[in-house]
Amino acid sequence: MEIQDTSDLCFPHLLNSSCRKPTLHWSEAVLLNSVLLFISLITVVLNLLIIISVSHFRQLHTPTNILLLSLGVSDFFVGLLLMPLEIYRFTFCWGLGDVMCIFFYFLINTILGTSIWNIVLISIDRYVAICYPLHYPTRISLTRVKYCVSLCWFCVSSCSLLYSKDELIQPGWKNTCIGECTFFISYNLGTFDLIFNFILPVTTIIVLYLRVFVVAVSQARAMRSHITVATFHSATSATKKSELKAARTLGVLVVVYLACFCPYYCYSLVGISLTNTPYSFSLFFLFYANSCLNPVIYALFYPWFRKAVKVIVTLQILQPGSHEAKLL
């Protein structure tokens, strides 16, 4: 009788139902994991700096920065949880069980979905600030923004439970072998996810930003030609530099977001299942890379972030009264 080689099985004692180990050579796996874990670490550190900055310094407690804080929290969890678990899922046999696999899938939908809708909220904030500057203080308040952020997290979490309902009823029923963690949703839920987490937010962001761009250009032309009436000039002159710069930052944020998210959704749109292939893995990490790039954009375009990081890194933040530091 021929003895079957079980060295490449995840669970050799489960001969007929065990998955096979990933085929990456150990040297390739070490190099790949080292690079990706470094990216994960950078994502955690940069977004933690965003969280500390906005939370600690009182001058940064503005509606726009609260939205950036919410985005920073979601991006922080991408680096802390999603990236390491995705590396583990791709390079090792899944030994954490079906329940943990479902929880991982829930985390992916919740954290990434919240990140997307945070960018939508930021777009709305910039739209009101640029297009209706006189009404901005009354329409966009700290309390309203906090309610919107809480509602955003609640709605996305609820939708994530909807995506996971089949797996919650019967954990692991989609897996073909033991040691596997795969994600699959029905056609109807996949269509809903495509509309809710991509088409609707992207359309909203693009429409709002085009409107912001048109108004910003018209304001710049009016200021240059000196034909602005006194009321309009007083309403825009105080805000034009900071608000228009924030709008440009949003534009960069949107472009980076589309570059990172479009390939993933185009891949899912053609109906190819997201199995543990190198191509799907690269799409997932491109998806996650957006969370590392967002704080880099802030560092390039927001002077207050660079000043806050300097205070944090030099430990001046530990001094009494540091939360009253002037950063703007």
pLDDT surpassing 50 at residue 102: yes
Instruction: Name residue 45's amino acid.
Output: V
Residue 183 — φ and ψ, nearest 5°?
Answer: -115, 130
Nearest Cα neighbor of 39 from 86, 95, 99 is 86
Environment class of residue 117 by beta-carbon count within 10 Å: exposed (0-12), middle (13-18) or buried (19+)?
buried
Instruction: Name residue 110's amino acid.
Output: T
Which tens digits make up the pLDDT trace of 148-172? 999 999 999 998 888 887 777 777 7
**pTM for the whole structure:** 0.86
Report whether 81 contacts 125 (CB < 8 A).
no
Tokens of 39: 């990216």
CA gap 262, 115 in Å, rounded: 15
Q: Could you tell me the domains of the chain? A: 26-324 (1.20.1070.10)
Q: Lowest mean pLDDT of 15-19, 42-46, 201-205, 291-295, name the range.
A: 15-19
Which tens digits make up the pLDDT trace of 134-150? 888 888 999 999 999 99
How does 48-72 read in b/e, with b if 16+ C-beta sit within 10 Å?
A: bbbbbbbebbeebeebbbbbbbbbb
Q: What is the 3-state secondary structure (H, E, C) of 50-78?
A: HHHHHHHCHHHCCHHHHHHHHHHHHHHHH
- What is the per-residue pLDDT for 15? 64
- What is the per-residue pLDDT for 173? 72
Report whether 274 contacts 268 (CB < 8 A).
yes
- What is the per-residue pLDDT for 151? 96
Tokens of 33: 């994991």
Report for 66-80, 223-237, 298-312: range of highest mean pLDDT: 66-80
